[in-house]
Amino acid sequence: MILQSLTIENFRQFYGKQTLEFARGADGRNVTLLHGFNGAGKTTLLNAFVWCLYGKTTPDFGSPERIESERAFAEAAVNGRVDVRVALHYNLRGEEFLVERSQTVQKAGESEARRLDQKLKMWKREAGELVAPAGDEFQFQQRINQMLPEGLYPFFFFNGERVEWLAKKEASQEVERGIKIFLDVEIYERSLKHLRRDVAKELSDELRNLGGDELKSALDQEALLKQAEEEAQARKSTIDTNLSSIEDSIVAIEQRQAGIAALAEFARQRDRLKEDQSRCEKDIRSVEESLARSISDDGYLAFGDAALAATAELVVAARERGELPAKLKPQFVTDLLEKRLCICSRTLDPIKDEVEVKHLCDWREKVGLAELEEFVSQTSAGIASLRQRRERCFEELERAQTRRSALFAERTSLQDRLASVLDQMGDEQHGEDAHALKVQLDGLKKKEIEQLADQRRTVDEIGDLQKKLSEIGSKIKSLRVLDVRGALIKTQKEAVEKIADVLEEIFDIQKHDVREYLSGQVAHIWNDAAIKPYTAGVFDDFSLSLTKTVNGAVQPVHGASTGEKQVLALSFVGSLVKRAKENLENKAAAAQMGLQVGGEYPLVMDSPFGSLEDDYRAKVAQWIPRLAHQVVLLVSKTQWRDEVERETRPRVGREYILELHTQKKGADRSIVIAGTEYPYVVETRDPIEQTIIREVN
């Protein structure tokens, strides 16, 4: 989607018809900049986009039902009408569209308004003319949603001061959904769900009516197992959500505890002990991995002592019997035979000396003896080496076990000390709040343990059901259907199941790749911008992550600042847009299979630099225009200064001032842009405020 222009008419403080043209990236200038004083209409303009596309406004838009211009309403006669319109002109994959949403407001009394239904119209350019495509309003809305789904507009039209919601754990579902839809992962999940739940089931039902008793029974069994698996998956999903919620509550309570003065020192001790616990657990895992490696590599030697000793004894015995070293070398016998000589140097006649020649041939057959000698020699050396390795393995195992025992003891000690600190934190002497928090925490931890146990059981149950489903699936495949129609349906069912399996595989690959990519991008952008040594990324559950390393252990950062969360959220949005753009560029191969289409998405950001420090502002200003194809920035004077202007100015292709006209005395303000002074706030005698959009040349 490439924005061309936005026309607003009688929309809040924008009286009459006013149009904005957007920078589209010519000469690398992809930023459209709008300067506006507080209340001049920056948030209103952001909402004009949202209203035009979806007929609604953002949650922070006050009095959303009153979208009409106050001035236009005042000027209308009673029973007269005010037409509110927003039209968005854009290009989508090479085609040009115009979408217009309008609403008529009838002036029923001096201050009484009757709002009529909204209307949505759409035009598409064909042969140079804008023509209305076939379809009704519902279908036009569908087309808009195909281009930019309604639920996901907050990723692209947002207020920078509130964007940090994306960085909160509870936003992980929205983040995951956004990732799946924008990056073309959702389609696989939906397809395989519909194929398995609806299509395969329908075909099974048809087949059931055509098959024999055994097939009917197997299909019934399969249906029951599928239902049980679906229920177990739903249970697991609920448990996962519960666990996530419990973890969040625990963190929140621990933060509240830290905020109580009497508990501050205990909270510090608790956090230190938890860090130590985390490091100790990591060390235990490391020692256990080392133990497993030693056992896997050399563990067999522990049982080889008898075999090694017996082999050594056999070699000694052979030497004592004079069998080793071999007294006769095979090459010596071969040479005698070739020269026709006896071992006593007499010349041999092959006919007369037939017996002697046979003896020599027999000896030559004993060449294995020399090979045995070589083998025994190698084995003797090997036995010594294996015995040394065996000793070393025992030593390493002993060291690792000693270390593990020490770590186990440390873990127990840390657990005891932590329990003691937690108990002290709940002591009533620290106040009722402290005690109540401890009681809440204990309750939550108990629930967490119960949920973890349920999770384990459910995962096992799902594994068991999937195994049984696989078995019954194989059985169904092996059962023959005599009827031609039955055979066809069986083939259809098998094809659908196979395609669903492949789709599941593709879904997992895509999901994994996309998460890895976004995590890498977010980390890269964060590293570039951040001051603190935190690591940013995307967790497996698709929540945005901020972690730190303490004593070698990775821990989540709790209590990140609003600014840090904003940078994290912006780096995520930027990465998402970048990937979608790459998917679009990458579509040639993928489109063959109807996979990965991707897209170009603009970023429309109100107050994009929110509450960021100067360093962060400069970085955000630097990378946002590089990641997104098209950017619209709505800024106040204080947001547009120094480092932001320095970084963004070379990218600005179109620039406007939202000139606010107000009755307030002494309100006149001006703004200097590239050395020229422009009116910013204008004092007027008109009692109704309005904003005029002026382009900066």
Partner 1 sequence: MSEAMNPKIVEALKKLSTQEQDLLVRVLKVERDKLYQEKPRVKEDLLKAVREVYK
Tokens linked to 508: 């997992």
Nearest alpha carbon to residue 196 among 456, 617, 499, 419: 499
- Per-position x/- string for 435-474, each x denoting binding to partner 1 as judged by CB under 8 A, each - no binding: ----------------------------------------
Amino acid at 171: A
Q: Any contact of residue 187 with partner 1 (CB under 8 A)?
A: yes
Q: Residue 147: is it exposed, middle or buried by C-beta count within 10 angstroms (0-12/13-18/19+)?
A: middle
Binders of partner 1 in range 11-40 (CB under 8 A): none
Angle at 301 between CA 295 and CA 305, to 5 degrees: 150
**Element at 661 (helix H, strand E):** strand 652-662
Shortest spacing between CB 647 and partner 1, in angstroms: 25
Judged by CB under 8 A, the residue of 92, 113, 199, 397 near partner 1 is: 199
* Binding track over 201-240 against partner 1, x by CB under 8 A: -xx-------------------------------------
* Rounded-to-10 torsion of CA 4, 88, 61, 559: -40
Could you report how far apart the first and last alpha carbons of the chain are, in Å? 26
Cβ contacts of 469 within 8 Å, gap of 6 or more = 222, 225, 226, 229
Within positions 505 to 524, which residues make up the interface with partner 1, using CB under 8 A? Answer: 505-506, 509-510, 513
Q: Please, which residue, 504 or 643, has the CB nearer to partner 1?
A: 504
Among residues 15 and 90, whose Cβ is nearest to partner 1?
Answer: 90
Least distance CB 237 / partner 1 (angstroms): 18
Q: Between 438 and 578, whose beta carbon lies closer to partner 1?
A: 578
Q: How far is the CB of 443 from partner 1 (least distance, A)?
A: 37
Do 630 and 603 meet the contact criterion of CB atoms below 8 Å apart?
yes
Q: Give the binding-site size for partner 1 (rule: CB under 8 A).
A: 40
Packed helices 213-259 and 200-210: angle between N→C axes, nearest 10 degrees: 150
Tell whether the torsion through CA atoms of 429, 430, 435 and 438 is positive or negative: negative
Based on CB atoms, which residue is closest to partner 1, 510 or 648? 510
Q: Which of residues 575-614 bind partner 1 (CB under 8 A)?
A: 582, 585-586, 588-590, 593-597
> Counting contacts by CB under 8 A, is residue 498 touching partner 1?
yes
- By CB under 8 A, what part of segment 97-156 binds partner 1? 142, 145-146, 149
Q: Which stretch binds partner 1 (CB under 8 A): 106-114, 194-202, 282-290, 601-609?
A: 194-202
| Residue from 198, 391, 398, 683 binding partner 1 (CB under 8 A) | 198
Closer of 384 and 495 to partner 1 (Cβ): 495
Query: How far apart are alpha carbons 343 and 346 in whole angstroms?
Result: 7
Residue with tokens 């990056």: 183
- Going by their DSSP bridges, the two strands 2-11 and 630-635 should be labelled as unpaired
Counting contacts by CB under 8 A, is residue 186 touching partner 1?
yes
Beta bridge pairs of residue 68:
11
Paired tokens of 230: 């679906």
For the window 524-563, what string marks contact with partner 1 as x by the rule CB under 8 A? ----------------------------------------
Residues forming a β-bridge with 104: 83
Pick from 130, 439, 502, 672 the residue near partner 1 by CB under 8 A.
502
Do 61 and 667 touch, CB atoms closer than 8 A? no
- Token pair 């753009």 in the structure block, residue: 581
Identify each DSSP E strand in 501-607 by its residue range: 535-538, 544-550, 553-556, 602-606
Residues that bind partner 1 (CB under 8 A): 142, 145-146, 149, 181, 186-187, 190-191, 194-195, 198-199, 202-203, 488, 491-492, 495-496, 498-499, 502-503, 505-506, 509-510, 513, 582, 585-586, 588-590, 593-597
